[in-house]
A and B are shown apart, each in its own frame.
Chain A
């Protein structure tokens, strides 16, 4: 009796899990499906639900990547990768230094600094667009990777400092002190002992910075206005906006192209990322 009930329950939960899977994966599936279909099986009422061999086409990808009528694809990829990479690296390095100062030292002005980090995150970014634009313009950094990187760093740095501060706090400094007793210098003790323990925290924080920088849209809209300076989100927008027919197949192909690097990145870091957040939080 109990066994049957358990089995029924198992089946029930299995079905639920299937539903969750379908709901979360369907839009992604539909994107991929559309990207492989010719126009006449996308539009109109005769939709194809699978890219079967008789309708399968790579034309959408060809159009997305090599279409001459819009901003070119290769620079967009390079720009996005460059901006994202630099943003993540710089934000982590700079933010980590600040987090160390805030956790491992006591000094006058520490609380003021923390207050500042908190307040800065409440400023609505859209209100700052024009001033940031003018600064970047003044430095002649419009349409450059450095220009957009700077703006992105401003966006993610306060959050990075704040999160890393939590992680560093979570590593007992007695560990370092013990190492120092064993004859290590302070710096060596830190790099040998504390730093490795912080790896999950750095990964977790880096992922946030990555998502932010990869998705950043509105500042890029203002700063990267040349076709060859566009980042991927801007590039994707050029499809939807064209005055001519929206080529949905090409749009979906473009969306796939933008999502692929993130999926790969997430597959690599996924485990550490949630692990990092949990280790930060559970200890609290």
Chain B
């Protein structure tokens, strides 16, 4: 009796195995030179790529490659480097991947991406492609990852909240205005402590630097340089005296406090305007409510003001795309890659306010609104993080969010900066 039951269990176990393993497509072992129809997997990160662009990509690809399919699998920014490290080295690797511009070097330097030959580079856009981003995806003179889009941060505000307060025109005024406006219910600048992208302009504008490479190749981190400290002091002033955002929160959900009318200035990627301008009662149950009828109705944008007026140097956020070295179908992957860098596809990205991979398409970004104009101004002054393949490790270690969380909670700026510099140098010079 018992025996039979056990045998039965074993048998059903085997059946289950066979049935279920069909879900998981072991695939991937295909010989690299395979032709004919196949499947291409594209990994996009976060929700920045709009649905319209995704549909266009899938549809165009499947029209151009009859019988083949294209699947978009959305990845999360958190833990992205960890995931790519294994996923792209495995037999079941995706074919085309999006990667943060500052993270690309970790993979280009280690042979994770297929080389884009000089000819292919010319076909895909050549010198029209955003130079800073092309550089971010180069390694030892060869191209591996090309620009996907860029989007620098813009400062948003609504006159309903700001009232008569004049819009600041210098960085010092910006800090002062934030402190003056702050009450228990209102953040002058809403700035969660982990949002380090917004902190870099303060460092740069005050003459500091993130890290610089000396002649002998060693890196020197500059948060504790004179300019760095001055910038950090300003950051701490805003974070502690002009801000109600939690010191340990990250930059998700930024539209929520804004839509509650609790934020005067919000420095965020330009696409957040669509979240703010979403209806209060979203039709999609998953949709996050915005405030189109209230604070979204008179939403304005400006470039972060610089130390001496004008636009500040801000962090050039954005992504690169690459073809995985282990892609089973490089031919199909290239086809998808070409679509993603095509004028049509990139124009869709431009349509929602992202800066396309090609400079010739910049005019497609609507600059008639203050937000569009501000993002163009910001993009023109954008800077990148240090060009070291180890920089991705600085990011995956969360050194900067951690340091700025400490600054936001009032720790001594100098101590934090020195510790941060030591940690960064340890990684970059290891």
Which residue of chain A lies nearest to B79 when distances are taken between CB atoms in the complex?
Answer: A241
Bound Cα distance A242, B74 (Å):
10
Complex contacts, B78 vs chain A, CB 8 Å:
241
Assess the A250–B86 pair: CB atoms within 8 A: no
Per the CB 8 Å criterion, the residue count for chain A at the interface is 53
Give the docked Cα–Cα distance between A147 and B6 (Å).
23
Measured CA separation A229–B21 after assembly (Å): 9
- A142–B256 Cα distance when bound, in Å, is 39
Complex Cα distance A244/B255, Å?
10
Asked if A145 and B17 sit within 8 Å, CB to CB, the answer is yes
B76 touches A145 (CB 8 A): no
Is residue A137 contacting chain B, with contact meaning CB distance below 8 A? yes
Cα–Cα, bound, A70→B72 (Å): 11
Across the interface, which residues of A come within 8 angstroms of B91, CB to CB?
137-138, 140, 142
Interface of A is mostly: helix
The reply on B369 being an interface residue by CB < 8 A is: no
Query: Could you tell me the distance between the alpha carbons of A144 and B203 in the complex, rounded to whole angstroms?
Result: 47
A69 touches B47 (CB 8 A): yes
The complex places the Cα of A59 from the Cα of B284 at a distance, in Å, of 10
Chain A residues lying within 8 Å of B48, measured Cβ to Cβ, are 243
Give the Cβ gap from B134 to chain A, nearest Cβ, in Å.
25
User: Which residue in A89, A90, A226 is a CB contact (below 8 Å) of B73?
Assistant: A226
- Chain A residues 190-207 with CB under 8 Å of chain B are 191, 195-196
A137 to B27, CA, bound (A): 11
Given A70-B74, A243-B77, A245-B252, does the pair A142, B26 have CB atoms closer than 8 Å?
yes
Complex Cα distance, B76 from A218, in Å, reads 16
Task: State A195–B3 Cα separation when bound (angstroms).
Answer: 10
Contact A229 B24 (CB under 8 A): yes
A80 CB to nearest B CB, Å: 11
| B123 contacts A by Cβ under 8 Å | no
Within 8 A of A (CB), among B67-96: 73-74, 76-79, 82-83, 86-87, 89-92
A244 touches B47 (CB 8 A): yes
The answer to whether B3 and A140 have CB atoms under 8 Å apart is: no
A145 to B14, CA, bound (A): 12
List, in ascending order, chain A residues with CB within 8 A of B33's CB.
none
A70 vs B17: C-alpha distance in the bound complex, in angstroms?
A: 25
CB of B285 within 8 Å of the partner chain: yes
Interface centre among B82, B86, B275 (most CB of A within 10 A): B86
Using known A-B contacts A143-B92, A246-B253, determine if residue A75 contacts B288 with beta carbons closer than 8 Å.
no
Is A48 interfacial (CB 8 A cutoff)? no
| Cβ B255 vs Cβ A245 within 8 A | yes
Given A86-B13, A229-B23, A250 contacting B286 (CB threshold 8 A): yes
**Interface set of B (CB-CB < 8 Å, partner A):** 2-3, 6, 9-10, 13, 16-17, 20-21, 23-29, 41, 46-48, 73-74, 76-79, 82-83, 86-87, 89-92, 252-253, 255-256, 260, 275, 285-286, 288-289
The 14 listed contacts between A and B (C-beta, < 8 Å) are: A39-B288, A69-B74, A82-B20, A86-B17, A89-B9, A142-B90, A144-B26, A145-B17, A145-B20, A145-B21, A195-B2, A196-B2, A241-B79, A244-B252
